[in-house]
Each structure stands twice: as C-alpha cells, then as structure tokens.
Amino acid sequence: MPSTASTSRATWTTTIYFRAEGVDVTTTNKRLAGPALLTNAAATKYTTPASCVTKVQHIHVENPTGSVILFTLSIGVDAAGTRIYDQFVIGAGQVLDQFCLYILNAGDVLQAFANTAGVATLTIDGQELTPG
C-alpha cells in the first residue's frame, strides 16, 4: 500500500515507499539499460545493485536495418541455460516489445547481443526494490 510517492519528470523516475510484511521498501521505476546499440558478443547491460531486487518489466529491441537480426538475452552470464531469448529473429524494420516480469536478485546481470554489431537498439525498463 503506497504511503508516499514522488515523481521527477526530468529523469522519468518514480519512487514509491510502502510497507511489506513489516519491512519498508523503496520502489524506483527506471530505465535499467539503454537505449544503446547491441554488440555482436555477450555484454552486460545491467547489474542489480547490492541489497536490491530488480523487476524487469519491459524489453524493447529495434531493428532499423533492411536485414534480419538474431537477438540473444540472458539472465546471468551468457550460456545456453541462462538465455531467455536465444537467437530470436527480429525482422528488417521490426521491433520486439516484450512486456514481462523477470526477477533479478542482488548481483544478477542481464547480458545481450545480436549477430550483427551496431545496428539494433536495446532498451530495458523495470523497478528496483530496496529495503529501508
């Protein structure tokens, strides 16, 4: 139950303070990564801060080129078993908009890449929840 809220339009960050099971939690809505061009090798796009839990809520990838790209995104160090997208096809001039809910614990990372460097743009939005 929100008890106070503050909004800053300059940074598009909203902070909500609430009490959950006797613990005060600060929830900050924010852009977690990007917009930034993808490389063609796995690279860390976001790391959950210490003493924090992150909710990934929106993944946006734009392919403005005239060619198909293959998009890969992992929770954790990239490997076959950590991929939530594994060479996902995004057509020429197409956009991937995935509204989702992935939970990341302190220290967890998101890694991403495409088969062609410097053409697709990745943006990730979500919330950081911090006790206290």
- pLDDT value at 8 more than 70: no
pTM: 0.82
* pLDDT confidence bin for 20, thresholds 50/70/90: low
Domain for residue 24, yes or no? no
Give the pLDDT mean for 42-48: 97
What pLDDT sits at residue 2?
42
- Distance separating alpha carbons of residues 82 and 101, to the nearest angstrom: 16
> Structural domain tally of the chain?
1
The strand ranges marked E within the chain are 2-8, 13-20, 23-37, 43-47, 53-62, 69-75, 83-90, 95-104, 109-114, 121-131
Residue pointed to by tokens 């490389």 = 39
Is residue 85 in some structural domain?
yes
With respect to residue 16, please indicate whether it lies within any of the assigned structural domains: no
| Domain with 76 in it | 30-131
pLDDT band at 21 (very low <50, low <70, confident <90, very high): low
> Nearest-CA neighbor of 86 among 112, 117, 121?
112
Residue 13 inside a domain? The answer is no
Give 46-62 pLDDT, tens digit per residue.
Answer: 999 999 999 999 999 99
In a domain, 5, yes or no: no
- Per-residue pLDDT tens over the stretch 59-118: 999 999 999 999 999 999 999 999 999 999 999 999 999 999 999 999 999 999 999 999
Say if 58 falls within a structural domain: yes
List the CATH number of the domain containing 123.
Answer: 2.60.120
- Nearest Cα neighbor of 58 from 93, 78, 33 is 33
